[in-house]
Amino acid sequence: MLYNLLMRTKQLALTSLIVLTSGALAGCFSLPALAIEYGGIGGRPANPKSDNPRTQSIFVHEGTPGTVIEDGIVVINNSPTPKTLFVYATDIATEADGEFSCEQLLDTRNDVGTWVEMEKSEVTLASKTSETVNFKINIPATASVGENNGCIAVQEKKESAEGSGVTISTRTALRLVVTVPGDIKREVKIAGYKITLNDNDNYFLHPSVTNTGNVSIDTDIQVSTRYWFGLLAAKHGGEFPVLRGQTSEWNFELIRPFWGGLFFSTFKAGYDPSLEASVGKNTGDLTYVRGPIRLLFVMPHPIALVVELLVLLLLLWGIYRFIQLRKRNQWMQSTWVEYKVKPGDDLMELADKYDVDWKLMAKRNKLKPPYNLKKVATIYIPSDKTPTETASSVSFGMWLKSIFNKKKVQPAQSTKTIVSKYISVVSEPGDKLKDVADYAGITVAQLAKINNIKNSRTYKLRAGTELKIPNPDN
């Protein structure tokens, strides 16, 4: 009995495994549900022209007054539910910024909107279906030469909602261009350029142009913003249609540069002036008109400001040091005179006698350690005994402190009125501490203490070592 139970359990498990595996494998090979993720409602031109790709998106026609042009719009419902849609023609309205918009269903038509006769004003479409609605464009006898614009719109029919604040309905509109041939003029002029601050603490660049012609012009707007030294910081732009007689202005957002600075911003507008050009057709030769240059000073981010101030201070200190060094060199070149070295002359003593830093004297005379004058015939020494500043004695910190304390920093220098306690001597090859101590008239222990030498017995004095000894003049 137990054996039968085990066998049945085994069979059941095997069956389940086979069923589940088959189902999983089959699921991998079953047809996936192919669906458009989003469609919405709208329309497309029903009869695009093969020689003008623009007619895939909008309606472009040409005709003389009195002509009747036939066309159609494919009204589309790609939403998941059936829709009743209004289909209507309307005028173009020009807004305050020069851009145009399509007037509303309930607005009175006075212009191109009156030229169009729709086959029907409403269509009801099932989900994922479309229908072509034909229309006629009756160009009136009084139509002006040049371009005339209107719109064909598709809008969902909705009951007006009440008591719920701002209620929103949506529509899609396609521009309708009807050109009456004749004396066509194509020209774009610069109208202005301004820069404003927006709510995000960034900048809006507002180039504007005026179409002084009688047809719309697709204008290539190129805005460039450069650092004060010429490097390109940002580029904005695009191609936009500007209707006849209109001034259009755009908004391009310039993100605030982190480091701030001074910028030059300008723009140029390119258009095809050829009379062979039209909506959707260009000859490729663009003419550019240039806008004004605007200066823009941007405050840096606080962190950037701190870094920039530090760099500026370092730069200023570098300039100060350079000037000091230059002054010193000029002084040495112009005032130092030749001195014939006498036996027994010592660099330290001479430097002290003429009130200059012994290192400066060594540098001027290109002396190297141990700065021995025995083999030197002549050296240069200052012709006057007026002490002068040495640039190396003014550190960055001292200079910085002088700026904030408004006190002139006095470099460390010896003057005739100040007698230093110690003077420096430089050891020669073979010198020992005892030799230096004897020279100074002190003990080795005293010499070690003055120079912070811990163990004078084992200390090995090397040639060229600078040691301090008591100033015999103090």
Partner 1 sequence: MKNVSKAHSFRLPTKILLGWMAALTISTASIVLASSTSNFTHSVNAGTLAVDIVDGSYVTVGSPSVAMSATTFGFTCQTSTGTFGTASQKIYVSNPDAADNGWRVDLAASATTAAWDSAGTDFDFNDDSGSGCTDGADTDSLGGQMTVNPSGATLAVGQCSTCVVTNVSKGDSESYVEGSNDAIDLLTGAANSDDTGDWTLVTVAVSQKVPAEQPVAADYDINMVLSITAL
- CB closer to partner 1, 206 vs 328: 206
Site for partner 1 in 111-170 (CB under 8 A): 128-130, 151, 153, 155, 160-170
Tell me the CA distances in angstroms from 237 to 224, 250, 272, 436, one per residue in order. Answer: 9, 9, 17, 80
For the segment 301-360, give every residue that binds partner 1 (CB under 8 A). none
CA distance 349 to 371: 12
Residues 184-203 that bind partner 1 (CB under 8 A): 196, 198-200
Tell me which of 65, 280, 300, 464 binds partner 1, using CB under 8 A.
280
CA atoms within 13 A on the CB side of 30: 8
Q: Which two tokens stand for residue 287?
A: 């003419």
For residues 247 and 262, what is the distance between their CA atoms, to the nearest angstrom? 29
User: Least Å distance between CB 79 and partner 1?
Assistant: 6
Nearer to partner 1 among residue 37 and residue 473 (C-beta): 37
The least distance separating partner 1 from the CB of residue 175, rounded to whole angstroms, comes to 6
**Minimum Å distance from CB 24 to partner 1?**
8
Verify binding: residue 106, partner 1, rule CB under 8 A: yes
Min separation Cβ 399 and partner 1, Å: 46
Nearer to partner 1, 16 or 383 (CB): 16
Question: CA-to-CA distance for 296 and 148, rounded, in angstroms?
Answer: 39
Among residues 97, 250, 282, which one has the least CA distance to residue 186?
282
Provide CB contacts within 8 A for 316, sequence distance 6+: none
Is residue 48 reached through a cis peptide bond, with omega within 30 degrees of 0 on the bond before it?
A: no
User: 161 — phi, psi (to 5°)?
Assistant: -80, 150
Using CB under 8 A as the binding rule, whether residue 5 contacts partner 1 is answered as no
Q: How far is the CB of 291 from partner 1 (least distance, A)?
A: 17
83 or 186, CB closer to partner 1?
83
Closer of 240 and 339 to partner 1 (Cβ): 240
Q: Minimum distance between the CB of residue 203 and partner 1, rounded to whole angstroms?
A: 11
Residue (of 71, 239, 34, 268) closest to 150 by Cα position? 71
DSSP structure string for 447-458: HHHHTT-S-TTT
Window 82-101: contact mask with partner 1 (x via CB under 8 A)? -----------x-xxx-x-x
Q: Which stretch binds partner 1 (CB under 8 A): 42-50, 134-142, 303-311, 321-329?
A: 42-50
Minimum CB–partner distance for residue 244 and partner 1 (Å): 15
Stretch that binds partner 1, among 104-112, 179-187, 255-263, 296-304 (CB under 8 A): 104-112
Site for partner 1 in 201-260 (CB under 8 A): 204, 206, 218, 237-241, 250-253
Residues 48-87 that bind partner 1 (CB under 8 A): 53-54, 56-58, 74, 76, 78-79
The CA-based angle 412-417-419, given to 5 degrees, is 70
Q: Are 64 and 180 in contact (CB under 8 A)?
A: yes
Nearer to partner 1, 29 or 229 (CB): 29
The region that residue 163 occupies, defined by phi over 0 for left and psi between -120 and 50 for alpha, beta otherwise, is left
Instruction: State which residue, 7 or 398, has the beta carbon closest to partner 1.
Output: 7
How many residues form the binding site for partner 1 (CB under 8 A)? 85
DSSP, res 356: S
**Minimum separation from the CB atom of position 201 to partner 1 (A):** 10
Among 5, 26, 141, 231, binds partner 1 (CB under 8 A): 26
User: Encoding tokens for residue 134?
Assistant: 């034909």
Binders of partner 1 in range 402-441 (CB under 8 A): none
Q: Whole-angstrom Cα distance, residue 91 to residue 442?
A: 109
Q: Which is nearer to partner 1, 40 or 441 (CB)?
A: 40
One residue of 69, 105, 234, 391 binding partner 1 per CB under 8 A: 105
Identity of the amino acid at 92: I
Taking the least distance from each CB to partner 1, the nearer of 102 and 381 is 102
Task: Kindly state the smallest distance separating residue 123's Cβ from partner 1, in Å.
Answer: 14
Residue 266 carries which side chain, given as an amino acid letter? T
- 12: which 2 tokens? 């059941």
Our finding on whether 383 is near partner 1 (CB under 8 A) is: no
Residue linked to tokens 């010499």? 447
d(CA 253, CA 447) in angstroms, rounded, equals 73
Q: Which of 5, 34, 141, 377 binds partner 1 (CB under 8 A)?
A: 34
- CB of 92 or CB of 379, closer to partner 1: 92
Residue carrying the six token digits 């507002």: 206
